[in-house]
Amino acid sequence: MNRLLLALLLPAGLLAQSAIVIETPMDPPEWALLERALLEANSDAVEAFAAKYVDSRGYLLHTPRWGTLDGPDDAVETYFNWTLLYALGGADSALKLYDKGLDGHLLQYGEMRTKLTELARNGAYHREFITQSDWFHTGEGMRGFMLYGLAAPYNPLYQERMKRFAEMYMGHDPNLPEQNYDPEKKLIKSIWTGSMGPMLHKATTYDWVGDPTPGTFHLLHNSAGRGEMLDLMSWYPKMLAHCQDYLDSVGDNPLNLGATLLGFNAYAFSGENKYRQWVLEYVDAWAERIAKAGGMIPTNVGLDGEPGGEYNGQWWKGTYGWNFTIYDGEIEQVASRNTYSSGPYAGFGVAYLLTGDRKYVDVLRKQIDILYDNKKVEGGKTLLPTMYGDPKGYKSNGKPEFYQYSPNLHESELTQIYLWSMDRNDLARLDTKKGWIGFLEGNNPNFPVEALRRDLASVRGKVEEARHDPTSPDTRLADYLLGLSPAATDNLTQLTLGGYFGNSKLWALHARLRYFDPSRGRPGLPKDVGALVEKLTSDSVTVQLVNLDPVESREVLVQAGGYGEHVFIGATVGGRRRAVQGNTLRVHLAPGAGAKVELAMERYVRRPDLTLPAGIVPRQ
């Protein structure tokens, strides 16, 4: 049996690890010093934030409310990247504080009660999962939890929760009064789902907004701005008016593809095939519906399984859909809010992680192609349509067409497609002179230093704002503190892992590399080690590794892929090719040593796996 076949069949850590030794001295690069400074600053800032805003029970010091404007999803989203920070190499405290904050959040919002909506009459959570909400908001609140397996995959409470949550969406949960998922039609039955099952009737504005709450607050979900305070009882009618056209709920919605992250993670740590099968079954069903709509992603699927089934075949309608042009009574103007892409990039992305099948990328690319095929050029600027349907409004039945053009060229979505496919044709619509992509293309050499400096300034600014924060728990709502959460991790993810998170806030880690620290038995870059991914191709990644300690050596385990889904097949250091085979590489860095390492790899040839590599034994 050859080594590649073994790689396909065995979980992470069971292949013999290859090893290389780097002894060449390297002057400490500025980017490496900034990486280490940012990891430390992030960790210190998280501790400072928690000391001020989280009490001994883990309760966030604010006024809890039900609703999507400033409710439970915003409260727990405050800790959205703390698990990722730990997995990158941040302090142990980042993970401990996330655990404290999550457990406290479940208790705090479990105590909340509403009168005007049934959804939180007995608390916002049932069986530790939101009672009912849409995956735009559920996904925001679960970002940190979805990446928890990268930090502590063997935590039994994490594993039990993830399995339990995944099975709420697989059509056979005996604790649900009505199943969220219809296995015959292969659909999630409503935009509102959760531990109470699907909402199979129109929502109310109270479901979206919650009860009126006495007091004066910094209301961020309004036009008043961060610095102004409003009496919530007086503003409450406007909050209801904000959601007056959000009431259609029945039928599947592309946002629901965010639920596949639950099944993906349950499979990644357990290896139980039922989770993989469900994810692919559901994503494949969406692929068929998208094909029926000519490559457009339908924004409603009827309970009959057909695109537009709740709107006489008009697949472009639906809450948050292509034709979701409404009158927002809070800001007193017409607004268009189409979120078609959030769920599909999560769902089709994890299907690609599970299979390596390019057909999942092709679906997303075709949707982008359609938008570019309908572009306009005005004043030398390319404009793409953001909406489709009847431009006169969501409730009208006129002839559908593209409308509301914008300079948003979907760079986030295009970046994801390119990084998954590594097809140079997918690079054509991206600006290869600027940003991280420009750096990878060799055209923006200063990006790492500039980006890390900006992040350090951001952390410093958030801490300073918190230090002088004039609010008190009785004057701030959940979304206010989300704006003060200080950790900056996007550029660390890109620069150290070759990974990228899109704009959708529905997260799985798509990355070329991960790191583990054998000396501490945990994920993340070891102390004093810097890593810079500087080039990506379809079959290789080039990374600089450096040990900043001039006295002590360091060892780092390098893994191929965020979930071990890739395999190394060779390494070139200093012009010399080394024999490497497997999905982990042990690198010994002598004191003050560093080098550029080109790692040849086969991508998407192993099952995604959260098993820790051999030699990584978490401290209890």
Least confident of 447-456, 480-489, 501-510: 501-510
Check residue 2 and give its pLDDT. Answer: 36
Check residue 394 and give its pLDDT. Answer: 57
For residue 41, the surrounding DSSP H or E stretch is helix 30-53
User: What's the burial of 458, exposed, middle or buried (CB within 10 Å: 0-12/13-18/19+)?
Assistant: middle
H, E, C per residue of 366-430: HHHHHHHHCCEEECCEEEEEEEEECCCCCCCCCCCEEEEEECCCCHHHHHHHHHHHCCHHHHCCC
Check residue 10 and give its pLDDT. Answer: 38
- The 10s digit of each residue's pLDDT in 114-144 is 999 999 999 999 999 999 999 999 999 999 9
**pLDDT band at 331, cuts 50/70/90?**
confident
**pLDDT band at 221, cuts 50/70/90?**
low
> For residue 323, which amino acid is it?
N
**pLDDT band at 393, cuts 50/70/90?**
low
C-alpha distance across the termini of the chain, in Å: 37
Is residue 67 scored above 80 in pLDDT?
Answer: yes
Contact call for residues 291 and 376 (beta carbons, < 8 A): no
Mean pLDDT of 427-455: 97
**What long-range pairs does 163-166 form, CB within 8 A, spacing at least 24?**
163/266, 163/270, 164/127, 164/128, 164/129, 165/129, 165/262, 166/262, 166/263, 166/265, 166/266, 166/275, 166/278
Torsion, Cα 350 356 359 362, to 10 degrees, reads 70
Is residue 457 scored above 50 in pLDDT?
Answer: yes
Distance CA 1, CA 553 (A): 37
**pLDDT band at 328, cuts 50/70/90?**
confident
Q: Which two tokens stand for residue 595?
A: 């080098």
Query: What distances in angstroms separate CA 146 from CA 451, 490, 505, 506, one per listed residue?
Result: 26, 16, 11, 9
Least confident of 81-95, 347-361, 565-579: 565-579
Name the average pLDDT for the chain. 94
Is residue 9 scored above 70 in pLDDT?
Answer: no
User: In Å, how far from its chain's centre is CA 385?
Assistant: 25
Check residue 230 and give its pLDDT. Answer: 87
Least confident of 52-61, 67-76, 221-230, 241-250: 221-230
Is residue 320 scored above 90 in pLDDT?
Answer: yes
Residues linked to residue 557 through DSSP beta bridges, in sequence order: 516, 586
- 525 closest CA partner among 150, 82, 39: 39
**pLDDT band at 229, cuts 50/70/90?**
confident
- The 10s digit of each residue's pLDDT in 14-57 is 344 689 999 999 999 999 999 999 999 999 999 999 999 999 99
Check residue 18 and give its pLDDT. Answer: 87
Is residue 292 scored above 90 in pLDDT?
Answer: yes
Mean pLDDT of 282-299: 98
Is residue 262 scored above 70 in pLDDT?
Answer: yes
Mean pLDDT of 276-305: 98
* Percent of the residues in the chain that have a pLDDT greater than 90, as a whole number: 89
Where residue 564 falls (left for φ over 0; alpha for ψ -120 to 50; beta otherwise) is left
Mean pLDDT of 193-222: 93
What backbone torsions phi and psi does residue 484 show, to the nearest 5 degrees?
-105, -5
Least confident of 132-146, 215-229, 262-276: 215-229
Mean pLDDT of 528-547: 98
Strands 125-126 and 129-130, sheet pairing? antiparallel
Mean pLDDT of 227-243: 88
Domains of the chain: 3-28+512-602 (2.60.40.1180)
Check residue 330 and give its pLDDT. Answer: 84
Check residue 603 and give its pLDDT. Answer: 98
* 358-362-365 Cα angle (round to 5): 135
- 144 closest CA partner among 482, 474, 451, 447: 482
Beta-sheet strand order (sheet of 513-517): 18-22, 584-589, 554-560, 513-517, 522-523
DSSP 475-498: T--HHHHHTT-----HHHIIIII-
User: What's the burial of 343, exposed, middle or buried (CB within 10 Å: 0-12/13-18/19+)?
Assistant: buried
Is residue 617 scored above 70 in pLDDT?
Answer: yes
Coil/strand/helix, residue 249: coil
Report H helices in 198-341. 205-209, 232-242, 260-270, 273-292
Is residue 503 scored above 80 in pLDDT?
Answer: yes
Is residue 11 scored above 50 in pLDDT?
Answer: no
Is residue 5 scored above 80 in pLDDT?
Answer: no
**pLDDT band at 222, cuts 50/70/90?**
low
Rg (CA), the chain: 24
Torsion, Cα 15 146 166 207, to 10 degrees, reads -170
Sign of CA dihedral 123, 124, 130, 133: positive
Is residue 577 scored above 50 in pLDDT?
Answer: yes
Q: Residue 113 half-sphere exposure, CB side, CA atoms within 13 Å? A: 3
**pLDDT band at 397, cuts 50/70/90?**
low
Q: Residue 284 half-sphere exposure, CB side, CA atoms within 13 Å? A: 11
**Reported pTM:** 0.95
Sign of CA dihedral 481, 484, 485, 490: positive
Check residue 319 and give its pLDDT. Answer: 96
CB atoms < 10 A from the CB of 588, how many? 15
Mean pLDDT of 233-258: 95
Check residue 619 and give its pLDDT. Answer: 61
